[in-house]
Amino acid sequence: MQKWIVPCNQKYYKVEEAFSKLKRLDWKQSSPNIKIGDIVYIYVSKPVMAILFKCKVTKVNLDRIEIDDSEFVVNGENYLTYPLHMELEFIKKYNDELTMNILSLHGVKGRIQSTRKVCQELENYLSSIE
């Protein structure tokens, strides 16, 4: 099982509202290496700048969106035409314990603008707080 961080820009998608109503979401799958059973942490960009959600991958390589979450889409041009999607199942919501400052202290380099694997240092930290 691999652990991933994926970004979410609230200018395009209202992820907090979506997870308050739905327990599963389709998400663009930007890495073909993501597998069923992997863990995905959703990092919400400015102004939040923190990981807010922990999810489990339940489906991969979907060629179309199966879950209707259109009420949460602000600007869907990047999502609707994306070639692959995965289904994420909500596990946990974080508050302010995983800000960019905390992530940086635990091995995360640079801004989170695309899907990336969770580095070992961050994985150790995440395990210690759960």
Q: Which amino acid is residue 129, in one-letter code? A: I
Residue 79's pLDDT band, with cuts at 50, 70 and 90, is: low
Domain that holds residue 45: 3-129
Categorize the per-residue pLDDT at 126 as very low, low, confident or very high, splitting at 50, 70 and 90. Answer: very high
Q: How far is CA 128 from CA 70, 117, 123, 125, in A?
A: 36, 18, 9, 5
CA atoms within 13 A on the CB side of 90: 15
Could you tell me if 90 and 53 are in contact, meaning their C-beta atoms sit under 8 angstroms apart? yes
Q: Tokens 């339940």, residue? A: 58
Number of domains in the chain: 1
Taking residues 16-36, report their average pLDDT: 96
pLDDT of residue 41: 98
Gyration radius of the chain's alpha carbons: 14
Whole-structure pTM value: 0.95
Rounded to whole angstroms, the Cα distance separating 22 from 41 reads 17
* pLDDT tens for each residue of 45-65: 999 999 999 999 999 999 988
Q: Flag whether pLDDT at 80 surpasses 70.
A: no
